[in-house]
Amino acid sequence: MASTVRLKGEVEKAKVATDKDGKPSRHCTLFDKIRFKAMREIPRYKQIEGIEYKDWLGMLRTWCEAANSFESDKGDLTDASIEATAEVDSSLDLVRIHNTNR
């Protein structure tokens, strides 16, 4: 039976999806850009009266659109990919903010 042993303070690195050249995928890159920005904005979000999930999702979508600029053969992500990235990030943020799902 295999088991994992972690030493105190040791952090397991997350695997990142890569393209055929070994570079991080556009989806992961966009997600990380938005995730880090969202984490900085959560304290401010908590202070806004009357803000709803759809407002937060809209803000994340706007950030995704602004960050969707890739100089590669594949070009920028599609609108559907941007929407999916914003949706996943906003759902994770909602759990962090309220300890609940939508």
Query: Per residue in 8-49, pLDDT tens?
Result: 554 445 555 666 777 778 888 888 888 888 888 888 887 888
The predicted pLDDT at position 1 comes to 42
CATH number, domain 26-98, options 1.10.8, 1.10.540, 1.10.340, 3.40.50: 1.10.340
| Prediction pTM value | 0.68
Write the secondary structure of 12-71 as one string of H (helix), E (strand) and C (coil): CCCCCCECCCCCECHHHHHHHHHHHHHHHHHHHHHHCCCCCHHHHHHHHHHHHHHHCCCC
pLDDT the model gives residue 79: 93
What confidence score (pLDDT) does residue 2 get? 47
CB-based contacts of 20: which residues, under 8 Å, 6+ apart? none
50-82 pLDDT, tens digit per residue, is 878 888 889 899 999 999 988 877 889 999 999
Please report, for the chain, the start and end positions of each structural domain, with discontinuous segments joined by +: 26-98
Look up tokens 């994992």; give the residue.
4
Locate tokens 């890159």: which residue?
A: 29
